[in-house]
A and B are shown apart, each in its own frame.
Chain A
């Protein structure tokens, strides 16, 4: 990894939002492509954040600051990614499921998907199945992503998938689930197509669904 990309990755890990735009600009000035800065700098940092969070070496405040840093970097990168003709990978509809008000993880996945080139439709939190269904009808997404923080609300994911099936919309899209209590076994049991253990894994899953990873 080049020195500047390493600095960008470190800034993400350390949650240094103030220096992120400058570092990203510097990398671009050195001739690095916007997508390289994103994939080999920012995403590498975010991946490490996900791993440390899972191990208990990083906590919610630090993850929030890392997300904020990612956002600050993306403000510089986003127009350039668009201008460089990084084609839209597809549409992702995202939401935290019914009964659950926690949206930090879901927002992070949204940001990462947007950075990767997806059109993101964020339905917010406490999203009932019917709202997912009307969004699917309206936006015809390639991927639906659902998030939950509580084991209590995790059940809503299964209910939502069932409702999507009953509405006859299940075959036209892929469903991924995530959130602290969710694991692969649960994802399979409720009939999701994929699972992400953190935000980076979430966007990787979305990319695999549209055949670009």
Chain B
């Protein structure tokens, strides 16, 4: 594999990481940066083809850094073509926002019924309260409540993850509004400071691919992203 410094670096990432990545990106690292819409993972095949389309339009062979996890298999099947792909080895954005796969699994095992909120998800309106409001408009109050119950009744905890005190305070009122709605299922509200370790490592490895380790998936030219690469 060619050393990464010889390859131009292209970053394609979910908007949920926009500020986290943009604030930490060394100047001149990336030739091209594309932040993709939130919520493409809801129909995983939409995520697959949207990301594939951006990859296929990159003109010269590059190191394509994907700011995604496996995301409900949304990345499964993506073809590298002439490029090299670098992806965090994480199930979804939560592990990346918490700083490591290990931290995510620790949280997961201790509290499986957790719904995570982030400022990105709050800004994009991807949270249970917003979802309820959309359903109410479309299906009426009674059906909307029933649909929400079917989806969320077993959840126990709502965790708002932010990466600094300022964001925590700025978005707290919105998070609390969601928390209040989620009380209908007895969900308790907690706040957590995330970690930028995963994101910083991703950027370091993007600058020097030989530093990669088992926390990342590297797909050589001609290869394809596979679910099995993420399972550990």
| B-binding residues in A (CB < 8 A) | 54-56, 59-61, 64-65, 99-104, 125-126, 150-155, 180-181, 183, 185-186, 189
Q: Ordered nearest first, which 6 A-B pairs have the shortest CB separation?
A: A56-B43, A101-B154, A61-B147, A99-B112, A151-B91, A152-B91
Task: Establish whether residues A151 and B227, one from each chain, have CB atoms under 8 Å apart when the complex forms.
Answer: yes
Task: Establish whether residues B73 and A56, one from each chain, have CB atoms under 8 Å apart when the complex forms.
Answer: no
Closest B residue to A100 using CB positions: B112
Give A65 to B140 CA distance when docked, in angstroms.
Answer: 13
Give A152 to B71 CA distance when docked, in angstroms.
Answer: 10
Interface check B106, CB cutoff 8 A: no
Additional A-B contact list (5), CB under 8 Å, known A56-B46, A151-B92 = A65-B143, A151-B70, A180-B44, A181-B73, A185-B228
**Chain B residues bordering chain A, tally (CB within 8 A):** 31
Give A152 to B76 CA distance when docked, in angstroms.
Answer: 15
Across-interface contacts of B76 in A (CB, < 8 A):
183
Shortest distance in angstroms between B78's beta carbon and chain A's nearest beta carbon? 15
Interface check B72, CB cutoff 8 A: yes
Across-interface contacts of B46 in A (CB, < 8 A):
56
Across-interface contacts of A64 in B (CB, < 8 A):
146-147, 150
Interface check B108, CB cutoff 8 A: yes
Give A43 to B108 CA distance when docked, in angstroms.
Answer: 36
Give A154 to B227 CA distance when docked, in angstroms.
Answer: 11
Closest B residue to A56 using CB positions: B43
Across-interface contacts of B17 in A (CB, < 8 A):
none
Across-interface contacts of A54 in B (CB, < 8 A):
45
Task: Establish whether residues A126 and B147, one from each chain, have CB atoms under 8 Å apart when the complex forms.
Answer: no
Closest A residue to B46 using CB positions: A56
Closest B residue to A55 using CB positions: B45
Out of A101, A151, A185, name the residue touching B112 (CB < 8 Å): A101
Task: Establish whether residues B227 and A185, one from each chain, have CB atoms under 8 Å apart when the complex forms.
Answer: yes
Q: List 16 A-B contacts (CB under 8 A).
A: A54-B45, A59-B42, A60-B147, A61-B143, A61-B147, A64-B147, A64-B150, A65-B143, A99-B109, A100-B112, A104-B151, A151-B91, A151-B92, A152-B105, A155-B231, A180-B73
Task: Establish whether residues A126 and B70, one from each chain, have CB atoms under 8 Å apart when the complex forms.
Answer: no
Across-interface contacts of A151 in B (CB, < 8 A):
70, 72-73, 91-92, 227, 230-231
Out of B43, B112, B139, B146, name the residue touching A126 (CB < 8 Å): B112
- What is the 8 Å Cβ interface bit string for chain B, positions 107-137, against chain A (1 contact, 0 not)? 0110011000000000000000000000100
Closest A residue to B152 using CB positions: A101
Closest B residue to A57 using CB positions: B43
Shortest distance in angstroms between B43's beta carbon and chain A's nearest beta carbon? 4
Closest B residue to A158 using CB positions: B231
Give A183 to B44 CA distance when docked, in angstroms.
Answer: 13
Task: Establish whether residues A61 and B73, one from each chain, have CB atoms under 8 Å apart when the complex forms.
Answer: no
